[in-house]
Amino acid sequence: MTYPPLTIILIDTHRVANVAGTQEPIYGPSAIQSVDKQAEATPFTELRPQDLKWTAMDSTSVETQTFYLIADNGHVGMVQVIYSNVAGIRTTCQFNTKVFYPDKKKPNLWTSDALDSCGFDERMLSFYADGCAVTLSEDATSYSVKSAVNESSVVNLTVSRIAPGFQVGSNGTSYFGTDPHHPWGSMRHCFWPRCHVEGSIITRDGELDFKGGGLFIHALQGMKPHHAAAKWNFANFQSPTYSAVMMEFTTPPSYGSTVVNVGGIATDGKVICAGAANSAQHTETKIDPDTEWPEPIAASFIWHAKSVDGKTVKAEVAGALDPRLDKIDVMEKVPGFVKTLVGGVVGTKPYIYQASHQTLHGRYSAKVVLLTN
């Protein structure tokens, strides 16, 4: 399998909740029970089939399955199912596809389509809708992702894990609420950090072969998303030998602007390490004149954890980012149900910045990954 030397996707979403009528009271940092507390005793657990079940909450929530694609031919893409519940009154589903073309030879492809007749199999492991299916194999080692809901992006992919999946701590979940025994919200991530991808996405300009590598993330925000997180950082590293993923969010001031960072490193057949002591920093920024937000133009991602056999593992990817692949006006692009969750959006300007770099200088190597005290 051939990978680009490095791919990073950086997300910086600013304070969606800072709008009239949607702020929460100041509960303080004690009102979030971060997954890093679990990780102190159990750094990570490998995923079992039951850990991949859809929760499909009957209260306000957003649940996603996202497949990040890195093709041998240079294309970078994403396909995603979003299952959302608004106040227990309405459930909506969406299928999103995004393709970045090599060297920006063509404009990015983005499609987002509402799904009808959504449901799950009896085990809650596979998702179905009219013209769309995301199906987990019987042995729970691969997903089939098919969608014909948009003629601009007909998806037919198989994503197979070549390393175990993991979740940080015992269940990958941070809880929100002043009573730890009765939380009113949650945030969960589980990962297949290292995958092999086969298949294609057919566009109006032709078929794109996505044979290559990938990453799968199942996430659940068990509350209003903008109440759980004000800012995100996400890194996805793929190489011929190693894969690394990092997901970091910062809560709004209502929960003390608490930073939660989960991630891990894998190689073929093995999770090397995973935990919640990682860090992501924007080491250089510039003011985006369109948004007035500090756009990251250099970043540092540090993984720091114990391996299964107790060794200290540290890896870093750091340096300047290529010119961004995309800048997304969240409120312009997100489905209507997310806008409903946010409420009266007056004056908010959340944006996503995405960058991909294939030659970023850093100290990520076998010698660094397995650094032992």
Q: For residue 182, what are the contacts with CB-CB under 8 A and spacing of at least 6?
A: none
Cα separation, 347 vs 162, whole angstroms: 45
pTM, rounded to two decimals: 0.89
Residues 285-313: tens digit of each pLDDT: 888 888 777 888 888 899 998 888 878 89
Alpha helices in the chain (DSSP H): 35-41, 225-228, 330-333, 336-342, 366-369
Which of helix, strand or coil describes residue 274?
Answer: strand
Query: What is the number of residues in the chain?
Result: 373
Cα separation, 238 vs 70, whole angstroms: 8
Could you tell me the two tokens for 210?
Answer: 């996505």
Residues 36-95: tens digit of each pLDDT: 999 999 999 999 999 999 999 999 999 999 999 999 998 999 999 999 998 888 899 999
Q: Do 191 and 148 contact (CB within 8 A), yes or no? A: no
Cα separation, 332 vs 345, whole angstroms: 12
Phi, psi of 358 (to 5 degrees): -105, -5
Q: For residue 60, what are the contacts with CB-CB under 8 A and spacing of at least 6?
A: 85, 86, 87, 88, 223, 224, 341
What pLDDT shows up at residue 54? 97
Residues 225-252: tens digit of each pLDDT: 878 888 888 888 888 889 999 999 999 8
If pLDDT is split at 50, 70 and 90, which confidence band does 1 have? Answer: very low
What pLDDT shows up at residue 227? 85
Q: Do 65 and 193 contact (CB within 8 A), yes or no? A: no
